[in-house]
Amino acid sequence: MVRILLRFNEELVEQPIISHIILEHKVAVNIITAHVNSKGGEVLAEIPDESLEKIVTAFRQKGVEVSIPRLVEVDADKCFNCGICITLCPVEAINIDKDNTVIFNRERCVGSTCSACVDACPARAIRSVRQLNALKNKGARGKAEK
């Protein structure tokens, strides 16, 4: 599964675009987070890797801005396991194991829609990274990190 960030402007936000794309393309779209109001919004969604190009194209054809969200990465060499990031993570993507080592779970991370851990890390051991570099204005190719 690949995570995509969908941005809807004020004109598009009240249209059932996600539903139409799911029905038109018969693709499962898993909504991870949604922050939407009458002025627009952002939806973080997961789609199957093999459907990435056609789904991105479909959203863009309907006027939706699509990007691959930035995720975070923990540099184990810099991390001194203080645990500040663990307390801030709203989706429990960062935990500590039995050896008191910080463990990062990419599957749970909501990426650029949060990034609280990046700003809070006193060691600067957590940084934002691209999940997929191949997304271009005309579509997408490649595989996502897992």
Q: What is the mean pLDDT of the chain?
A: 83
- Phi and psi at 50, nearest 5°, equal -70, -15
Q: What tokens does 23 get?
A: 């029905």
Q: What contacts 32, CB < 8 A, 6 or more positions away? A: 3, 44, 45, 46, 110
Mean pLDDT score, 133-137? 37
Confidence of residue 113 (pLDDT cuts 50, 70, 90): low
CA–CA distance from 25 to each of 47, 57, 146 (Å)?
A: 12, 11, 24
Mean pLDDT score, 91-120? 84
What topology is assigned to 2-67 in CATH? Alpha-Beta Plaits (3.30.70)
* pTM confidence score: 0.59
The number of beta carbons lying within 10 Å of the beta carbon of residue 84 is 16
- In the chain, residues under CATH classification 3.30.70.20 are 70-130
Instruction: Tell me how far apart the alpha carbons of residues 78 and 146 are, in angstroms, rounded to a whole number.
Output: 22
Mean pLDDT score, 97-120? 82
The percentage of the chain sitting over the pLDDT mark of 90, rounded to a whole number, equals 44
Confidence of residue 104 (pLDDT cuts 50, 70, 90): confident
- In the chain, residues under CATH classification 3.30.70.260 are 2-67
What CATH number was assigned to the domain covering residues 70-130?
Answer: 3.30.70.20
Task: Write out pLDDT tens, residues 34-91.
Answer: 989 999 999 989 999 899 899 999 999 999 999 877 677 788 899 999 999 999 988 8
Q: Which of 49-58, 107-116, 121-130 has the highest mean pLDDT?
A: 49-58
Are 115 and 107 spatial neighbours (Cβ–Cβ below 8 Å)?
A: no
Are 3 and 42 spatial neighbours (Cβ–Cβ below 8 Å)?
A: no
Mean pLDDT score, 84-113? 85
